[in-house]
Structures are given as structure tokens and as C-alpha cells.
Chains A and B, each alone.
Chain A
Amino acid sequence: MTAQATSRNSGQYISPARERAMGVFFLIVAAAMWFFFLRTTEPGVMTTFGMTPGGSKVKAPDWVFETALALQVLIFLTAFLGVYQLARGFKQYTNLVLGIVSGFFIFAFLAWGTSGVSLNLAGLLRVMVIRSVPLTLGALSGILCERSGVFNIAIEGMMLTAAFTATLFGSVTHNLWIGLVTGMLSGLLLGGVLAVLAIKYKVNQIIAGTVINIFSTGLTSFLSAKFLQKYQHLNDPGRFPNWDFPGLSQIPFIGPIFFSHNLYVYAMYVLVVVLTVALFYTRWGLRLRSVGEHPKAADTLGIPVNRTRYMAVLLGGLVAGFAGTYFTLGSVGRFDEVLTAGRGFIALAAMIFGNWNPFGAFGAGLLFGFSDSLAGKLTILRVPIHNKFLEMAPYLVTIIVLAGVIGRAQPPAAGGKPYEKE
């Protein structure tokens, strides 16, 4: 009866109005691809994509194709998807199709921008993966905290502090691992500060995060100016070496992009999977999420709300700490003032764009990493877009998602509210 009628319909519900709007949108994308790209492409011009990142030993032949032809195919496919959407609708797959159409558009853009020249696509994607590391890891930290109901806008500060700590201790001990562990512990410590302020003292969580951000910026800049600049040997921890993943790294194109990196990239893969499993398939995760969604319900079932939140925020700090050490031990190998440069906030954006989901955050991290990576190569392409606009993309996309233009983001229901027992 009633139960039967409502069962199994639990996927994302897409309203008919939105289905139609999406269909029209796909058609507009197709038209835009024609107007901006195909119309301005001369027939016979070739696009050349390099399929081997610079310096890689795993070679793959260049990919050369006729620009106009590729554009025609993409426009046709996009238009077809739009028509199908209008006629039949993709129902719960609408968002997936939206992703595919966006992918088509980006590919068309690259093909058009590369017409007559050559672009190292593999290099572009390899950098994408690298750039996504702090974003994804930072987002995972955010997910841990916010899924339990505590806003964490202090990812930036935690990463910055951890980057500094890791550098200092890594340099002093000449041991990368000690740097890594101390960096993570410093993140844990700041997670503890956030937890105590937000849970024990019930401080507004945005303010608590701001405290940590200001404090971290101040402390690391202060210590860096005071010591690291004077004693350069304190600012030379070295870097984790690249390690080719046996077997997988030998796959042409794919291998060098995804499986020839240092510790952090592999850790990111592992953490995304582990966190997904932990959050959605274990008792631990179920309880953590229940506390972030409906603390009162959890409480009436005997789950200690605040203790669960403490644990989540501390772990979040630990993960943010790990993300922070990437900047020094995994990337540049030295600490400079404010070297995170707002990545903690892009991580926040990735968390939202990824709908508080580890895989979603990973996808968002890759997307934002891609725009970052592309921004660095734009000068090669013959496109009239300034790289600063590409760098804005993560923020703009997040604003659009938050405003509910493309499916509203669904934050945990109890986020930001301290839990008060009656």
C-alpha cells in the first residue's frame, strides 16, 4: 500500500521543470560550441594532443585529429543529448548527463584552443592530479568535521601550520617521516582547538575557524620570519620521492598521469576510498553522520553526541595536517609565508561541490585542479581567456551550486549548531 507506493524511488528526484530546463541548457551548450568554436575553426586544421607527460619514460604516440570534425561530433552528441532530454528525459541520471555535457564542452574548448598547435594533454592532466591533492585532502578534512555537524573553515589555517611544522621538524631531524607525523599532529592540535571552542565553549563555529586561520597565519609567518629566513638549514626538509606504482604506472597515457607520483597522491586515493567506506558502510560512520544530521535522534538512541563530534573534528584536524605537509614535503620542499595561498578555501569549495562526499570531493578536486593546471598552460593555447578567470572557476562554480542553480547542495542538517541537551 503506502509503503509499496513510495519504495525504491529513493534516487535524486528531478522536477519536470528542471528536466526541461536542462534539455534547453544542453542545446544552448551545443549552440555555443558551434558559435564559439566550430564557426571560427578553419576546415582541415589539426589538433595535436601530446599523450606523454614531459620526462616520462612511458611513451604514448601523439593524438592528432582534425579539429572541425571533432567539434562536429561533439556538437552532434551534445545536441542529441539535449533533444533526448527534452523528449524523454534522463530522469535520475540528469546530473550525470550534465557532467558528460560539461566534459564535452571542455574537450571541445581544448580541441579548438589547440587547433593548429600542440598541447601536452597528458602533462596537463598529470598536473591536474598533483594540484588536486591538497584540495581533495583538505576537503576530506572538511567532510569529517561537517558530517558530524561542525563547520570547519579553518582548513586553510590547519594546512598552513602543518606545512610549517613539517618543514621545521623535518629539517631539524633530517627525517621526512618525523616531519610528516609532527605536521599531522599540529593539525590534530588545531582540530582540538576548534573542537574545544565549538563544542565545549559553543563559540560560533565560523568565528572559531577564523580564530584558527588568523592565528595560524600569524604564527607561521612570525616563526618563519624570525627563524626560517635566518637559518636556511631549518627550511630544507627535502621531499618525498616519486614512486612508480608497479604495473599500473606502465600503462601508456594513464600510468604517468595517475600512477607515477609521490606518497601524497597514493594516500589521497586510499583516503578517498577508506573514508567512503568508513562513513557509509561502518557503524562508526553511521553514528558520525547521525550526529551531524539529527543529534537529538542520535541522543535518544544513546549515542554520545559531543564525544562523537570531538572525535570527528580531531580526525579532521589530522587529515588537514596531512594535507598541509603536502605543500612542503610533497611539493616545493620548503616553507614560505602563506604558501597555502587560499587552497584551504578551495578545498572548502571542493567539499561543497562534491556534496560532502569523499568521491565527490575527489571529483571536485580534480576539476578544480584541472582549471588550475589549465590556467598555467593557457598562454600556449590560442584562446582569448585570461587565466585569472579560470582560476576563479572553482569559486564561481561553488556559488552557483550553493545558490541551487544546478541541484542544490545538501549540507548536513545540524551543521554549525552546538548540541544542547534539554
Chain B
Amino acid sequence: MGVILELHGITKRFPGVLANDHIDLDLREGEIHALLGENGAGKTTLMNILYGLYKPDEGEIYVNGKKAEIHSPRDAIAHGIGMVHQHFMLVPVFTVVDNVMLGDEYVRGGGFLDRRRAANRILEISKQYNLQVDPFAYIKDLPVGAQQRVEIIKLLFREANILILDEPTAVLTPQEVDELFKIMKSLVAGGKSIIFITHKLREVLEFSDRITVIRNGRVVGTTTPQEADQSKLASMMVGRQIEFAIEKKPAEPKEVVLEVRNLKVLDARQLVAVNGVSFEVHAGEVLGIAGVQGNGQTELVRALTGMQHPVEGEIRIFGKVMTHASPREFFEMGAAHIPEDRQRDGLVLTYPVKDNFILNTFYKPPYARGIVLQQPAIAAHAEELVRRFDIRTPSIFTELSALSGGNQQKVIVAREFSRPLKLLIAAQPTRGLDVGSIEYIHHRLLEKRDEGCAVLLISTELDEILQLSDRIAVMYRGRIVATVNAAETTKEELGLYMAGMQPETLSLAQVVER
């Protein structure tokens, strides 16, 4: 097998971030090459460079041994490179034919669309690679799996030889995933080469020919499914150096604070994202929810904070039913919420720092008397929090957008911690932060636990989960597959649960190994 594509020393910097650090990668003809890495490891950036959406700061791309200048998707297409984006680039109100030929239309009579001929070509492709799709169906009527097939047909229609699939399984049901892998096999059988981006270990081992693991913008190594196993890949992928150790007293769990029974929550597409989850969190303990992103954690948090109501099940705080309560009622019960997407949900970037501190308490004394805001109290509160939480800001009147990401997160933490807390729900509390801020926030979380607060920590960072949690529940496809004691588990064991293994099968496997 010859090498069809070569990336040499690709480097891409964003302000403050080194997204790709001298990445080398080669793709052989007719192989499925998996690009494995955590969220934010730099996989998508790399592929966007390859597809001409980003310009690399350094590095070269060779297609078929020749240096390729790729400045736009057009160039990429001309070099036979095609990409299926994580968010499909399809026009929902267009038919399959129209979507497929857009930009590369079949016309006759000087500009009239020849839909019949294009449809025939689509059917041809679809027969050749077993990509079943009705050319005249509207995209909005198609299930996600079929939409993905349309995206693939779009590439084949343009005679792409190198197909990039960015997290293609993230949006699919298990059946659709199986279908997709069959298609991928038939594509490579037909002479195409595929770069397959994912963070799911099982898929990589099952379906790829070679695996390149990327971490923090660097290539960690390239291996094959024969040489690797899940735990090895997991440690390559999530093996971030522990840069600091954290002193942790043993937990002293007390009464149940949060109780969740058989919770079922839908996602934005009205599909079941949380499927019958039950757990409880005690005062004075940290329950960590581990899991690869997109396994229902986001929806779980939304339901537990009143931002979205579950379709089934029950949420209780101190025994009080909160299933259909509003966010404000949750706050009133002594709950705090550090949201996953802090800039979108947690902050008003155009507000001064001081106003962000009172986002969910503005109506209460001492910040308001009646309906009148008490600016002196608000300012004093802000000054105190800035000091106490060491927030680096020129003043409390500075617009929040001027603060660094770490300080923005500290604003949220300060705000949420400034109230008397019984329950803390922290979703990805350190995502994207610098080491100092991470350490700071970790300490604060444990401090709250020791004060007797119940803490629910949702994180995709295994290290974080392991360091902070007393108990760990692992979510996989909307369910909790295992709940373990943090002191008695390992990163490898968690990695296996995160890949969907059940504890029973695991213990069996371990027995057999011994």
C-alpha cells in the first residue's frame, strides 16, 4: 500500500493556544486510519487545516507524494480530499440531489439543473458502496444516519479519494454506527482511504487499520489494533501528567441531599439522552460523573438545575420533589450550578464584573431592597469576592469579556460559592483553564465538601474525577454503567467503563486473565 497523504510538521496556533504542535501523519492507500484523542486534543483543527478551512502556521501537506497548496475547500476537493464535518453541512430544506450536487452541479441548456442525471449518478455511487439513500428525499425528513450517508455521497460525487470523517459516530445510534462501519469497509474496499476521527476506544479497535493518538496538540504515537488494547489506548489518550497532587481528607458522608430516580431526559433533537439514571449524593461527599462527552451528562445537568424538565423520573433535594422546579427554585434550595458552557450560560460578558456576581441573587437582600438595587452592597460584595477568590481584574467595573478564561471561571465559582450551599453541581469546572486556576478550583471544591456540602462533579477529565471524587459513577449512552469507590479504582478500569463495558463482564475478564 502506497502512502497517499502525508502531513509534515503541521503547527497551528490560536491566541494563547497551541492547537497543533508539529504533527506528522501519513495515510496509506486503502486504509482506515483512526485519529484518536480527547476533546480539544487538536484533531478537528488538524483536519480543518487539511480541508483548507484553516491556514497552518507551519508544516507541509503532500498528496500522492506531491506538495499540495490547500487554501480553501475548493483546493482540497481538487486534490481529492473530502470531509464530513461533525455538524453536517447539509441544507435541510433541499433534496438529497440538490445537496449533493451543490457547487458542482450537473446542468444542461446553460444552467438548468439536470437532477435526473445527478440522481442517477447518486444511485450509481450508492449501489457501488452500499449507501442507501433516496435522491429525491428532503434532508430534513431523513434520520441522522441517512444524512451522514448523503455527506459521504457528496464526497464520492466529487470523486474524493481521501475521506475525512470527523466524529462520525457521535450523533449515531448503535445500529447506525454498525451501518456506518459497513460502509467504511466497502469504501476502502473500493480503493478509498479514510481518516476517522474519534475519541471512542471500542470503535477504534474494531474498525481501524492504524491508530494515531493525539494529546494536547501532539502526536503521542501510532499503533495498530493488534498491538493495542483499550486500556493502553486510554492511558495514551487521557494520560495527562498529574502536575500537582492534592491533599484530600477522607470523606465524611452524611444525609442524602440530592436524590435522582429513574431520570429520563431528551436532548435538543428530542432523542433520549439520559435514560433511566438513578443515584444519590450525600452531604460531605463528591460524586464524580465520568464519561466520554456526549453520553448524556449535559442533559443530566440541565435537568438537575431546572434548565430543562425531564420527561420521566424524579429529582429530590432534601426529600423535596424538584422535578419540575425552575432554576431559581433550585438556587433557593441551596443548590449551586457551575455550568458547562460558562460563556454562554454562566456569564454576561458585556456586564461589568460586579453584576455577574449577582446574576442569580440580584432580587434578594442585601443586593435589593424591594425592587431597588443596592449598588453599595453589590459593589462591596464584588470587592470582597474579587479579594477572596483572587480574581485578576482591573476593577469590579471592568467588562467581564476583558478577563481571562481562568478569571471568568473564578467569577462563576465565586458567585456560586458566596451563597450558603447545600448542593454544588459543577459541570466541567476546569475545562480550558490554566494549571493554576485548575488547582485553585479543585481546592475550593474540596473545601466545600469538607464544609458539608454535597458535590456532584461532572467531568470528562479522568484525572480530575479521580482526584476529587469519593465515589465515581460512569455514564455511557445515557445510563450509569458502574458506580465505584474512588479509592479502589484505577484509571484503566474507569476507561473500560467509559467505553461501555459492564462491571460483570469486566470482573469476568479479569478472572480469566488471572
Contacts and interface: CB of A to CB of B under 8 A. Distances in A.
**Direct A–B contact in the complex, CB atoms closer than 8 angstroms:** yes
Interface of A: 1-4, 6-10, 13, 281-284, 286-287, 289-290, 293-294, 296-303, 410, 413, 422
A296 B53 CA distance: 11
Contacts of A302: 72-74, 77, 103
B113 A2 contact: no
A190 B91 CA distance: 30
A7 B126 CA distance: 15
Nearest to A303: B103
Contact of B143 (A6, A10, A301): A6
> What 7 A-B pairs are tightest by C-beta distance, nearest first?
A301-B103, A7-B134, A297-B89, A3-B132, A302-B74, A10-B138, A283-B105
A2 B146 contact: yes
B142 to A, nearest CB: 5
Contact of B93 (A1, A4, A410): A410
A290 B143 contact: no
A284 B111 contact: yes
B110 to A, nearest CB: 9
B113 A286 contact: yes
Given A286-B113, A301-B103, A9 B141 contact: yes
Nearest to B150: A3
Contacts of B244: none
A183 B179 CA distance: 59
Interface string B81-119: 001010001111111001101111101000111000000
Nearest to A5: B143
Interface centre among B85, B91, B145, B146 (most CB of A within 10 A): B91
A1 B141 contact: no
B134 A297 contact: no
15 contacts: A9-B141, A10-B138, A13-B141, A281-B112, A282-B112, A286-B98, A286-B101, A290-B91, A294-B89, A296-B89, A297-B91, A298-B102, A301-B73, A301-B89, A410-B93
Contact of B113 (A6, A283, A301): A283
B137 interface: yes
B133 interface: yes
B134 A8 contact: yes
B136 interface: yes
Q: Which of A6, A300, A303 has most chain B Cβ within 10 Å? A: A300
A288 B146 CA distance: 25
Contacts of A9: 137, 141
B146 A3 contact: yes
A301 B102 contact: yes
Contacts, number: 101
B102 A4 contact: no
A354 B499 CA distance: 51
Nearest to A9: B141
B342 to A, nearest CB: 21
Contacts of A289: 91, 94
Contact of B91 (A6, A281, A294): A294
B149 interface: yes
Contacts of A297: 89-91, 99, 102
B90 A10 contact: no
B103 A287 contact: yes
Contacts of B103: 287, 298, 301-303
B111 A3 contact: no
A298 to B, nearest CB: 7
B93 to A, nearest CB: 6
Nearest to A284: B111
Interface in B125-158: 132-134, 136-138, 141-143, 145-146, 149
B143 A2 contact: yes
Interface string B421-437: 00000000000000000
Given A283-B105, A286-B98, A293-B93, 10 more contacts: A3-B137, A4-B134, A6-B141, A8-B137, A284-B111, A286-B113, A289-B91, A294-B89, A300-B83, A413-B93
Interface of B: 51, 53-54, 72-74, 77, 83, 85, 89-95, 98-99, 101-105, 107, 111-113, 132-134, 136-138, 141-143, 145-146, 149, 176, 179
Given A3-B149, A287-B102, A300 B134 contact: no
A52 to B, nearest CB: 42
B149 A281 contact: no
Given A300-B53, A301-B104, A303-B103, A10 B111 contact: no
A308 to B, nearest CB: 11
Contact of A10 (B101, B105, B136): B136
A2 B132 contact: yes
B102 A286 contact: yes
Which one of B77, B93, B145 has the greatest number of beta carbons of chain A within 10 Å?
B93
A15 to B, nearest CB: 14
B150 to A, nearest CB: 10
Nearest to B75: A302
Nearest to A285: B113
A283 B138 contact: no
A282 B146 CA distance: 26
Contacts of A410: 93
A289 B113 CA distance: 14
A1 B175 CA distance: 12
Contacts of B112: 281-283
A7 B137 contact: yes
Contacts of A7: 134, 136-137
A1 B369 CA distance: 64
A6 B94 contact: no
Nearest to B144: A2
A3 B134 CA distance: 6
A3 B133 contact: yes
Nearest to A297: B89
Contacts of B98: 286
Most buried by B among A8, A301, A303, A422: A301
A54 to B, nearest CB: 43
Given A3-B149, A422-B53, A300 B92 contact: no
- Of A282, A284, A287, A294, chain B has the most CB atoms within 10 Å of the CB of A294
Among B54, B98, B113, chain A packs the most CB atoms within 10 A around the CB of B113
B111 A282 contact: yes
A303 B102 contact: yes
Q: Which of B90, B102, B137, B142 has the most CB of A within 10 A?
A: B102
Nearest to A10: B138
Contacts of B93: 293, 410, 413
A189 B92 CA distance: 33
A301 B73 CA distance: 7
B339 to A, nearest CB: 24
Nearest to A1: B132
A282 B91 CA distance: 17
Contact of A300 (B89, B104, B145): B89
A246 B77 CA distance: 53
A91 to B, nearest CB: 15
Contacts of B133: 3
A8 to B, nearest CB: 7
B92 A10 contact: no
A405 to B, nearest CB: 21
A9 B142 CA distance: 10
Contact of A6 (B72, B142, B176): B142
A356 to B, nearest CB: 10
A382 B335 CA distance: 68
Contacts of A286: 94, 98, 101-102, 105, 113
Contacts of B141: 6, 9-10, 13
Nearest to B51: A300
A7 B134 CA distance: 6
A297 B83 CA distance: 12
A422 B12 CA distance: 15
A357 to B, nearest CB: 12
